[in-house]
Chain A
Amino acid sequence: GAVVSQHPSWVICKSGTSVKIECRSLDFQATTMFWYRQFPKQSLMLMATSNEGSKATYEQGVEKDKFLINHASLTLSTLTVTSAHPEDSSFYICSALSGSSDTQYFGPGTRLTVL
């Protein structure tokens, strides 16, 4: 149990385009999901908290207009990187909070490369 999927696992795009990343909790419902960013050999940096049916809460320094988050159902949250630039290249990881175990379970991550 407690499986979280992400799609795509990797994506390469041209500068200026938008990229959407999906995060799904496969066997449990998650009213709260989180989006992280991780640079090589560094720790995870929380970008935003995604709440089902309401606006996401962004961490300080994260541009909400650039990183659009939609949590339309109890099993799906999406992160859209708008007008991507090379500096947005990173490993993006989502997690879903399981209410029954009070634990965040993580997706496998999405590696974004912007050319």
Chain B
Amino acid sequence: AQKVTQAQTEISVVEKEDVTLDCVYETRDTTYYLFWYKQPPSGELVFLIRRNSFDEQNEISGRYSWNFQKSTSSFNFTITASQVVDSAVYFCAPRMDSSYKLIFGSGTRLLVRP
């Protein structure tokens, strides 16, 4: 079965610390897509990144960076110099087939304290 694991249920850091959120997935497919979404307390899911399995370059967007390791089936997300506004639940969501369905992990709740 294809699934995704976000082993960290909750993480608490102090503002300006760096934090990495882990995501490990299982798949038999050679072609797939990986997504990260942020869900702040307001409830709306915010799209952060889409990555296909053929692109193994790491990506940086401002304070956000993603490390894709196909060999270990991981797609980790790092926030540098965290801010209070980063407090949210973060979901890793692979898409493994042509149905466009996302497989949501259990999410990691990040709390950034002032």
Contacts and interface: CB of A to CB of B under 8 A. Distances in A.
Nearest to A6: B44
Contacts of B42: 108
A43 B33 contact: no
B47 A103 contact: yes
Interface string B74-114: 00000000000000000100000001111011110100000
Given A41-B109, A93-B45, 14 more contacts: A43-B91, A43-B104, A43-B105, A44-B45, A44-B91, A44-B104, A49-B99, A101-B50, A103-B50, A104-B35, A104-B47, A106-B44, A106-B46, A111-B43
A32 interface: yes
Interface residues of A, number: 23
A44 B4 CA distance: 13
Interface of B: 33, 35, 37, 42-47, 50, 91, 99-102, 104-107, 109
Contacts of B109: 41
Given A49-B99, A103-B35, A104-B100, A109 B44 contact: yes
30 contacts: A2-B47, A32-B100, A41-B109, A42-B106, A43-B91, A43-B104, A43-B107, A44-B91, A46-B102, A46-B104, A49-B99, A49-B100, A49-B101, A95-B45, A101-B50, A102-B33, A102-B50, A103-B35, A104-B35, A104-B47, A104-B100, A104-B102, A106-B44, A106-B45, A106-B46, A108-B43, A108-B44, A109-B43, A109-B44, A111-B43
